[in-house]
Amino acid sequence: MKHLMILVLLVAGLGFVFAGGQGEEGADAMSRPTQVVIEGSGDVQPALGPDGAWIVIFEDDVTVDSQVVVDGEVYEEEGADAPRRKLALYTQDGDRNVTARFTLTVPELVVRHENTRIQAGTVAGDVYVEAEGFQLTSGASIEGNLYFASEALQDSATIDDDTTVTGEVGIGSL
């Protein structure tokens, strides 16, 4: 009888372990994509919204006729210590050399997501930064103005020397 009781407890314990594993699998199936490739203007806002990917890849020039907002709290990978987003306005080869650069044309790009990076392409329109850690890198350009909601946000930004902003860079808001 004692052996039967131990066997029953062991089987029950295994059942809990397997049930816990299935719960995690379901959670993984519900997670957001790590990257999204933009195929048209209708893909841009969902990809950069709260349920979008950490890296948004452009493979052609795209025009959006309304304001686009980079929003939410997206992490590159589970367990990352800080949220981040990347607008990859370029393609690259296997050695990570930029092979083509693209333009996102938009009246206003509003950055409300921490650590958002615009890399290697062009945003044609005004950019308003309302979050810490904004980055303009790898020869990226803004054909318009770049405004930060506060001096502290501007101070937290990284703007590489090889990038350009054709308009004003300063403090301002929508």
Give the 3-state secondary structure of residue 97: coil
Per-chain mean pLDDT for the chain: 86
As given in the structure block, the two tokens for residue 85 are: 């987003």
- pLDDT tens figures, 108-150: 999 999 999 999 999 999 999 999 999 999 999 999 999 999 9
Question: Which range is least confidently modeled, 24-33, 57-66, 71-80?
Answer: 24-33
Question: Of all helices (H) and strands (E), which one includes residue 21?
Answer: helix 2-29
Looking at residue 31, its pLDDT comes to 62
- pLDDT tens figures, 86-112: 999 999 999 999 999 999 999 999 999
Assess contact for 119 and 84: CB atoms under 8 A. no
Looking at residue 11, its pLDDT comes to 41
- Rounded to whole angstroms, the Cα distance separating 109 from 94 reads 30
Q: What pTM was estimated for this model as a whole? A: 0.81
